Amino acid sequence: MDYIGNKCPVCQKYFHADDDIVVCPDCGTPHHRECYEQLGHCCHVDLHAQGYEYSDESEERSDGVRRCPSCGQENEPDSFFCRHCGAPLDGNAQRQQNAQQQRPFGAAPFGQGAQGQDAYQNGMPFLDPLGGVPGDMDLGEGVSAGEAAKYVKQNTPYFIRVFSNIKNFNKSKFNFAAAIFSGGYFLYRKMYKVGAILTALQFLLMGFDSYISLFGTRYMSASFATAYSKALSIGDVMNALSQATSTDVLLVYLPLFLEIARIAMMIVIGFCFNRMYLNHCKKQIVLIKEKAKESGENAETQLQTKGGVNIGLAVSLLVSGLLLNYLPQFIVGLM
């Protein structure tokens, strides 16, 4: 029997996949080995004479609340998947997930077999939150794919499959969201240190570009500034540049150089983000597990709390970026 999601009757802590569990041969009650040895006997030894037998408590209570067999958290009676970790809450879905995880990488995405069986669960498509990757797969540093999924939370099928490819084949994917939103996407994924640096750099480039566009003519020679502002064709621009000083030429091409630098930064971020995010997840999960072990807290609950995304910060950065990008144009229109 799988006791994950049940509590040890001695210490009242949930059983986890890596726990050493001892089962009473008389009533079937599971204990942590340490708890059993400390107690010296089954905690229900007084009930053995009455024929007591242990019953599984992990799936559903008498009041209808369903307890997740993976992380032990409570869910609404009509839930099919755990709202904390995404694991299936009933035996059929759990068996389907196990079968999905045993299929080769790249198998059918909705869990259907060769004949299209098991494609639906309770009238709805079965979506594997791990994207077909086994939950116990080691991603490095003792972090499993299941733990990474609990920490990532949003868009786990994509990230877990990418993490698996990086681990197994050293291959990643280009992350378009990270490339487009750059530092803001790092902050959205709670990678605050790198995100703050990249966001500051991005805003600095945008601000400098806006300043040059608005006030660059102040630093040009008077004759070139007049000729350049009146240029109506490429020929007029080239004639003006032929009489320009080196400072004039730099100010003309500087916005182009800044835009090239910004695009280059976006491309590099797109290629590097997934590997950086994997390393970030592993580092944070290891720290969370160590702190939970020291404090006796539930590590799965901490993974849910510490992980995920910061939506409020992402929206604030998006609004700030739009203002910084379009406000100078609005000011120029009023001048």
The DSSP code for 88 is B
Task: Write the pLDDT tens digit of every residue in 119-164.
Answer: 444 444 446 677 778 888 899 999 998 889 889 988 888 999 999 9
Structural domain count, the chain = 1
Residue 163 counted as domain residue: no
Token digits for 322?
């739009």
Task: Write the pLDDT tens digit of every residue in 306-332.
Answer: 888 888 887 787 777 666 666 655 555
SS3 74: strand
pLDDT at 335: 54
Residue 185's closest CA among 313, 281, 282, 306? 313
Residue 144 counted as domain residue: no
Residue 247 counted as domain residue: yes
Residue 281 domain boundaries: 176-334
Residue 98's CB is within 10 A of a number of other CB atoms, namely 12
Tens digit of each residue's pLDDT, the chain (335 residues): 567 667 888 888 877 777 888 888 888 889 888 888 888 889 888 888 888 888 765 444 445 677 666 666 677 766 666 666 666 665 444 444 444 444 343 333 333 333 343 444 444 444 667 777 888 889 999 999 888 988 998 888 899 999 999 999 999 999 999 998 888 899 899 999 998 898 888 888 877 877 777 777 777 777 777 777 777 677 777 777 777 788 888 888 888 888 898 899 999 999 999 999 999 999 999 999 888 888 887 777 777 778 888 888 877 877 776 666 666 555 555 55
Residue 234 counted as domain residue: yes
Residue 167 counted as domain residue: no
CA angle 132, 138, 142 (to 5 degrees): 145
Task: Write the pLDDT tens digit of every residue in 279-310.
Answer: 999 999 999 988 888 888 777 777 777 888 88
Residue 250 counted as domain residue: yes
Strand partners, 22: 31
Token digits for 290?
């160590």
Q: Are 21 and 11 in contact (CB under 8 A)?
A: no
Residue 278 counted as domain residue: yes
Residue 284 counted as domain residue: yes
Q: What is the pTM of this model?
A: 0.57
